[in-house]
Chains A and B, each alone.
Chain A
Amino acid sequence: MSARDYSHLVGHRFPGGTYTFPEYVNWLWEDAVLSEHDGGLAHPSLGYYIAMAGLGVSIGEVMALLEGTPESGVMFGENELEFHGSLRAGATYECEGEITAVERKTGKRAGVFDKLTFRIQVGEPGASVPSVVCTNTWIFPRKEAGDG
């Protein structure tokens, strides 16, 4: 893994796009999180899923921006979801996302790591207010930077 500076990524915009949220994904997600099905109203944690599905890049591709790989131990750091409307299975959403911060930190337990923060707005087509705003912070361990 790299010890490079990635602060130039702040302001990077993801491709975004339109995502139609399938009924079967709603069902499987609720099974995975041990939740009962609630008609067409999606579990609020799906705000994260829909945001990521509409980002226009995969989880692996987001990791790759900071030279993270699936085997490098990238972890979830923080998440914020703001709900301005409900999410429904079968509905179509437009997603826009950008990187808002990249910070290098040192922790007692974690050692040297990079914090990537990116914000995604999820809204119904034509809506003036997004249904959900999802802000994620991911942690990229930088063992080799700590060794230096």
Chain B
Amino acid sequence: MAEPDVGTRLEPYVVERVDAEKMKLMAAILQDPNPIHFDVEVVRALGYGERPINQGPINMAWFMACAVRFAGGRERLLRTQMRFLANVFAGERFVAEGTVTALDHEAGTAELEIECTADGRPVLAGTATVATR
């Protein structure tokens, strides 16, 4: 990758429409019995809305996708730290975008700040460290 500058904006990673079917697949992979990911009746009863809620690990993967694309490969991702701020619902438009906030030329790393939204609402925020060489 070319040496970035502090303040460089990351190319946004966009999922145009969050797919409820992928949530079912993820629930099966994780053996996650939480019905908020596949049973709208439970989502409604808990007061979370009217649509299934995306799993945290899927949101996590999209956050990482933004950093990995910038870094130029999965092997360059060194650390991620993220806070889950709000639920992401089926049908929403998810966007992960960010900025280079620091560079360590000696270590060959860059610090990234990444924010994710769903239909414009903040849903996930955090930082990533990537190798720059």
Residue contact A35 to B46, C-beta cutoff 8 Å = no
Bound complex: CA A46 to CA B116 (Å) = 20
User: With an 8 A cutoff between CB atoms, is A126 at the interface?
Assistant: no
Q: Is B79 an interface residue (CB 8 A)?
A: yes
**Interface flag for B33 (CB, 8 Å):** yes
Q: Is A29 an interface residue (CB 8 A)?
A: yes
**Chain B residues near A42 (CB, 8 Å)?**
74
CB atoms of B33 and A45 under 8 A apart: no
B 45-95 contacts with A by CB, 8 A = 46, 48, 55-58, 60-62, 64-65, 68, 74-75, 77-84, 87
Residue of A nearest to B127 (CB): A80
Interchain nearest-CB distance for B61 vs A (Å): 4
Verify A32–B58 contact, CB threshold 8 A. Answer: yes
Q: Are A49 and B42 in contact (CB under 8 A)?
A: no
Residues of A within 8 A of B (CB): 25, 28-29, 31-35, 38, 41-45, 48-49, 52, 58-60, 70-71, 73-83, 86
